[in-house]
Homo-oligomer: A and B are copies of this chain.
Amino acid sequence: MQTLSTYSIYFEKEIGNYRFPISPGNLYQPLDYFLQLGGKRIRPLLTLMASEMFGLPKENALQASMAIELFHNFSLIHDDIMDKAPLRRGKQTVHLKWNEDIAILSGDVLLIKAYQALAKQEVRHIPALLDMFNQTAVEVCEGQQMDMDFESRDQVAIEAYIEMIRLKTSVLLGCALAFGAIVSDASEKDRTLIYEFGQNLGIAFQIQDDILDLYGDPEKFGKQIGGDVIANKKTLLLLKALELAQHNPETNVEEMLLIEDQVLKIETAKSMFDSLGVLAFAREQMTFYQNKALSALKEISVSSERKKTLIELSEYLFQREV
């Protein structure tokens, strides 16, 4: 069994060697720049790990893992335009460093490059990879649209929120793992199980992100603590608080949303969320999806020994304790 860092070093090297054409420079330079911003590359590692778990050397799954990473970066470039984000991984976003038109068009070509990577896998696997990829890519767009729609709504049901994060971020983790299953000719059942593992792991991870934003260790979290509260972002915590407050006339969440002083706002939100039991609820939800993920992994018909790297990865993802 290989360790996490073996996969990571391998993929970093391969993506470092990935070359876009020289010309037109305004189309491809932004992509060279963006891919080199780095990131954890969790998604492509999932493809490589799943492939080896099912018995195929990771090298034979490289193009499928590349497709996943290119797609992920496409979605980030376009999302950054829509979110008007100035920074990505501490550096200027493409639409600011160049301009919006270039960000749109480079993003487009990056999505096509993802399909081009996928098309380099063995011919007999291409139709299945393509179906999985198309479905996932459509869902990611639907999730992004739901996220934008939710911003302008007063209330969002918890189920709708979970469905949004499932589409926007979690299905791609499922797809990355299913790619590993497809290229290594795993059974249909195992492919579904590994997809379920990834999807539920993704939901749990997003919920953890919502929790850490307010309750995380500032040293470890790497972002400003309370950023979501300050921005009135509709996280699982806020949505649950709004839901519970309907039956608690003494708790006025709307009032908290209007507080301008950042420190006071964060303190008020925290104590409100604590008294409503919102933190406990979010933790339960996270554990629920973590368990769902692990039980799908357990059912997969390969030895526990072979599952160790994926378990190691899940533990790594959830080591940012709350």
What is A's interface to B at a CB cutoff of 8 Å? 21, 24, 26-27, 78, 81-82, 100-102, 104-105, 107-109, 111-113, 115-116, 119, 123, 126-127, 130-131, 133-134, 137-138, 141-142, 144-146, 148-149
Name 19 A/B residue pairs within 8 A (Cβ), A-sorted.
A24-B145, A24-B146, A24-B149, A27-B141, A78-B105, A78-B108, A81-B100, A81-B104, A82-B105, A101-B148, A104-B104, A111-B111, A115-B115, A115-B130, A119-B127, A119-B130, A123-B127, A126-B126, A126-B127
Residues of B within 8 A of A112 (CB): 111, 134, 137-138, 141
Residues of B within 8 A of A123 (CB): 127
Residues of B within 8 A of A119 (CB): 127, 130-131, 134
- Of the candidates B116, B134, B144, the one whose C-beta lies within 8 Å of that of A138 is B116
Asked if residues A142 and B82 are in contact (CB atoms below 8 Å), the reply is no
Asked if residues A82 and B104 are in contact (CB atoms below 8 Å), the reply is yes
Q: Is the interface of A mostly helix, strand, loop or mixed?
A: helix
Q: Which residue of B lies closest to A122 (CB)?
A: B127
Q: Would you give the shortest CB distance from A272 to chain B, in whole angstroms?
A: 31
Residues of B within 8 A of A141 (CB): 27, 105, 108-109, 112
Q: Would you give the shortest CB distance from A160 to chain B, in whole angstroms?
A: 11
Residues of B within 8 A of A142 (CB): 21, 24, 27, 109
Asked if residues B105 and A145 are in contact (CB atoms below 8 Å), the reply is yes
Q: Would you give the shortest CB distance from A74 to chain B, in whole angstroms?
A: 8
Residues of B within 8 A of A100 (CB): 81, 100
Give Cα A137 to B110, complex, Å. Answer: 11
Q: Which residue of B lies closest to A130 (CB)?
A: B119
> 4 extra interchain contacts, Cβ-Cβ under 8 A, other than A26-B148, A115-B115?
A24-B146, A81-B104, A109-B138, A130-B130
Asked if residues A101 and B116 are in contact (CB atoms below 8 Å), the reply is no
Q: Which residue of B lies closest to A164 (CB)?
A: B24
Give Cα A275 to B244, complex, Å. Answer: 80
Q: Which residue of B lies closest to A136 (CB)?
A: B112
Residues of B within 8 A of A102 (CB): 145
Residues of B within 8 A of A116 (CB): 134, 138
Give Cα A126 to B124, complex, Å. Answer: 10
Asked if residues B138 and A113 are in contact (CB atoms below 8 Å), the reply is yes
- Of the candidates B27, B78, B137, B138, the one whose C-beta lies within 8 Å of that of A145 is B27
Give Cα A40 to B113, complex, Å. Answer: 29
Q: Would you give the shortest CB distance from A64 to chain B, in whole angstroms?
A: 14
Give Cα A104 to B100, complex, Å. Answer: 10
Give Cα A141 to B101, complex, Å. Answer: 12
Residues of B within 8 A of A21 (CB): 142
Give Cα A78 to B144, complex, Å. Answer: 18
Q: Would you give the shortest CB distance from A4 to chain B, in whole angstroms?
A: 31
- Of the candidates B81, B134, B146, B149, the one whose C-beta lies within 8 Å of that of A115 is B134
Give Cα A143 to B123, complex, Å. Answer: 29
